[in-house]
Amino acid sequence: MAFTTLRGASSGLLAVLKKGPRLRRRRKQAGSAQLEGAVAAPALAAGNAIASLAPLTEVIRQYLDSKDVERVKEAYRFADQAHLGQFRASGEPYISHPIAVTEICAGWKLDAASLMAALLHDVIEDQDVSKQEIAERFGADVAEIVDGVTKLQRLEYASKAEQQAESFRKMLLAMARDVRVILIKLADRLHNMRTLGAVSVEKRRRIARETLEIYTPIAHRLGLNALFRELQDLCFQAIYPNRYRVLHKAMMAARGNRREVLSKIHEAVSAALPAAGIEAEITGREKSLYGIYKKMVEQKKSFSDVLDIYGFRIVVHTLPECYLAMGTLHQLYRPVPGKFKDYIAIPKLNGYQSLHTTLIGPYGTPVEFQFRTRDMDHVAEEGVASHWLYKDPNVSLNDLQKRTHQWLQSLLDIQSQTGDSGEFLEHVKVDLFPDAVYVFTPRGKIISLPRGATPVDFAYAIHTDIGNQAVAAKINGEFAPLRTELKSGDSVEIVTSSASRPSAQWLNYVRTGRARSEIRHYLRTVKYEESVAFGRRLLLQAFDQLNLPYPADDDPEWEKLAKGSGAQSRDEILADIGLGKRLAAVVARRFAPENSMVATTAAVVDEITSTTATPILIHGNEGQAVQLAPCCGPLPGDAIIGGIRLGHGLVVHMEECSVAQRQRAREPERWIPVAWDTNTARHLTTRLDVTALNERGVLGRLAAEITEADSNILHLTMQDEVGSTVVLHLTLQVDSRNHLAQVIRAIRHVPQVKKIVRVKG
């Protein structure tokens, strides 16, 4: 029996009597929609007043049993009542949208729970139906899927962008738990894109750009290529309607002009393959309009240049026949060198498998051929929807499912390292790039990475600890910088050290969302821990100045101080001190017996800057909480002073540094006495300007002397002087001021050297 939705006074009255006060409240909220329906009366009169379930019922009966079909119908009845009185911008009853979404899902042969969730996907968002109500009536599985699809429109956000980012995060994390969430969301977005004509031009373009930026790459990442191409063309049509019309007209004209060449190629291939004993389905393959437009823009080519490539798809029965068919056509037409790709042996990230080759066809025109089996063709068009995932441990996963499951699991890994929804979305976007490179571990395992990925991305793809401890990389047996871009076929080995830590510089060249989130998580965590430790040192110094004992960790004054200053815990107070957000002397006064918070700022400043105060000992390798100022590059042995910089912790300058002197004059309360510890770090950086005669071999002799003095050149630039001299700007690694003096004496052994100056600012 086919179900229909009839809008009228009698059906509305019956619904109100059945549903009671809750539905009357919804009808009141839908009043404006009913008025819009009155305006759209001509459209309704034209036949839009009825939304039929009959086509959907016919499709699902082909693969669902009668019990499941009845469950889907029950979900339809509930959705129909929930959306009563609600209309789309086109004037159609709103229930037509959930039905259309469910029809798309049924085309992928999704299960009954998915179809029920598709019918109900807007009832929480639009009609004030609770998740609990759906769970009680249709089961927890359906309720979880509906909740995953629902946007977060009821919450308050600082901006529309933040709301969208949080909605995407919720949706993607729900997808990581159950991939059916994203399949329904993609079907929802596809139908919305197909019916964009009823909304304003501005809204049309905004929705299309959002689709192109987020949903289209997700469709490609999941292997839904047919959906991917349709969404691209619909977005292109919405964003650039005039360009779309021109290209569409040109494509129609070109299709007629190309018919003769296509027919000749088709006839030749149709004769060659059966002669080799291969039964195949041969179809012409046309590019999408958006693909043509994108290629024209990126490669700055005309329409005729881009379209001057003919495409055919050869679908055979078995995998060996793919290679046999390709060999047969290589004998028929001459292959183009370097234009062969084997995506069967090494599938794409989204599970796509096919052989690609380009041949020189009749009239010297290039012809692209794709060879695949029927199963490969099914996966190529429907991707993960052809074998969508369950978390059933008894179900064995094929390669496509494993890769998809790994990617979905990586979303949860990124989420665990990321607190901000915008940052999470940024990481996910990085992983949605379709291009990939395939590299090998030392044991021969293939790792797929985005194009432009580096050994750092590779290291984090293997394990977080390997990424965190990476110090160097071997690519094809030779040492290479960690920022080197990897190429398909590279064999990569990561050299690690337990003393190594992630660098903020890595964020400039990593490509994967996982690597980026792991590095940021480490830097945030380590900076916080170092700031807590350094804040404790500063506070200990302040307590010493006040002749007070340091309070115990469970002292109730900590909790009072935290509540009064907006901090969450004692550690957060210490971290704020370490980062310069709080003054240690002011915090210490809270623990004084008289709690002398009435002390003047001048008194606090005097105590902090007192020359009799116990100095903070500097090792030089404290981490992010203590930094050696790059403007003057202090070394152990130099007279130093420390300034607490808001958000950066303690910055150590030479006393004679002009930058430090200016800052100290402005904010004296932020400067404290510091001194070098007896056991300082090795390999600190300093700079020298060396003036020398510009003669052959002088640079080699300089490097030899510096090496002999147990130093290392980190950076070198040259500046020509007037005449025969040259100035060398050197950045060196030394251990102390005494070590630097040894290096300078060694450099003086080079007879061409005329002048050596240490750069101090």
Q: Can you tell me the mean pLDDT for 730-735? A: 88
Tokens of 436: 């990939």
Q: Can you tell me the mean pLDDT for 575-594? A: 72
Under 8 Å between Cβ of 109 and 87? no
Secondary structure (DSSP) of 570-618: HHHHHHHHHTTSS-HHHHHHTTSTT--TT--HHHHHHHHH-TTSPPEEE
Name the more confident of 186 and 438: 186
Name the more confident of 117 and 23: 117
Q: What share of the chain is helix, strand, coil (3-state, %, to 5)?
A: 55, 15, 30
Asked if pLDDT for residue 48 goes beyond 50, the answer is no
Secondary structure (DSSP) of 453-504: --HHHHHHHH-HHHHHTEEEEEETTEEE-TTPPP-TT-BEEEEE-TT----G
Asked if pLDDT for residue 455 goes beyond 80, the answer is yes
Q: Can you tell me the mean pLDDT for 581-585? A: 72
Q: Which residues of 210-219 are buried (b: 16+ CB within 10 A; e: fewer)?
A: ebbebbbbbb
Asked if pLDDT for residue 366 goes beyond 60, the answer is yes
Tell me the CB-side half-sphere exposure of residue 230, using CA atoms within 13 A: 16
Asked if pLDDT for residue 535 goes beyond 60, the answer is yes
Q: What percent of the chain has pLDDT over 90?
A: 12
Catalytic residue among 80, 122, 126, 735: 126
Residue 133 bears catalytic tag? no
- Looking at mean pLDDT, say which of 284-298, 466-480, 720-734 comes out highest: 466-480
Catalytic residue among 68, 111, 125, 141: 125
Q: CA-CA distance, 750 to 709, in Å (whole number)?
A: 13
pLDDT interval class at 434 (50, 70, 90): very low
What confidence tens digit (pLDDT) does each residue in 178-206 have?
677 888 888 999 999 999 888 888 889 98
Q: CA-CA distance, 179 to 404, in Å (whole number)?
A: 9
Cα 560 to Cα 100, 338, 563, 649, distances in angstroms:
59, 71, 5, 25
Secondary structure (DSSP) of 99-138: HHHHHHHHHTT--HHHHHHHHTTTHHHHH---HHHHHHHH
What pLDDT shows up at residue 174? 56
What pLDDT shows up at residue 597? 42
Mean pLDDT check: name the lowest of 192-201, 398-407, 526-535, 631-640: 398-407
pLDDT interval class at 414 (50, 70, 90): low
pLDDT interval class at 663 (50, 70, 90): confident
Name the more confident of 647 and 577: 577
In 718-760, where does DSSP find H-type helix? 737-747
Q: Can you tell me the mean pLDDT for 375-382? A: 76
CATH 3.30.460.10 domain locations along the chain: 245-385
- Is domain 9-239 annotated with CATH 1.10.3210.10? yes
Q: Provide the Cα torsion 375, 380, 382, 384; round to 10°.
A: 90
Name the more confident of 501 and 331: 331
What is the CATH code for 684-758? Answer: 3.30.70.260
pLDDT interval class at 413 (50, 70, 90): low
pLDDT interval class at 452 (50, 70, 90): confident
Mean pLDDT check: name the lowest of 5-9, 89-93, 440-444, 612-616: 5-9
Name the more confident of 26 and 196: 196
Residue 426 bears catalytic tag? no
What is the CATH code for 435-511? Answer: 3.10.20.30
What confidence tens digit (pLDDT) does each residue in 72-86 have?
999 999 988 888 888
What pLDDT shows up at residue 399? 54
Mean pLDDT check: name the lowest of 16-30, 533-547, 685-699: 16-30
Asked if pLDDT for residue 92 goes beyond 60, the answer is yes
pLDDT interval class at 47 (50, 70, 90): very low
What confidence tens digit (pLDDT) does each residue in 194-250 have?
998 888 888 899 889 888 877 887 787 777 778 888 999 999 999 999 999 988 888
pLDDT interval class at 760 (50, 70, 90): confident
pTM equals 0.50
- Amino acid residing at 625: A
Name the more confident of 13 and 351: 351
In 352-391, where does DSSP find H-type helix? 374-382
CATH 1.10.3210.10 domain locations along the chain: 9-239
Asked if pLDDT for residue 411 goes beyond 80, the answer is no
CATH 3.30.70.260 domain locations along the chain: 684-758
Homologous superfamily in CATH for domain 245-385? Beta Polymerase, domain 2 (3.30.460.10)
What pLDDT shows up at residue 34? 32
Q: Determine the Cα angle at 373 with ends 369 and 378, to 5°.
A: 100
pLDDT interval class at 316 (50, 70, 90): very high
CA nearest neighbour of 314 among 269, 370, 265 = 370
What pLDDT shows up at residue 436? 65
Q: CA-CA distance, 184 to 682, in Å (whole number)?
A: 58
CATH 3.10.20.30 domain locations along the chain: 435-511
Under 8 Å between Cβ of 507 and 457? no
Helix (H) or strand (E) holding 397: none
| Whole-number average pLDDT of the chain | 76
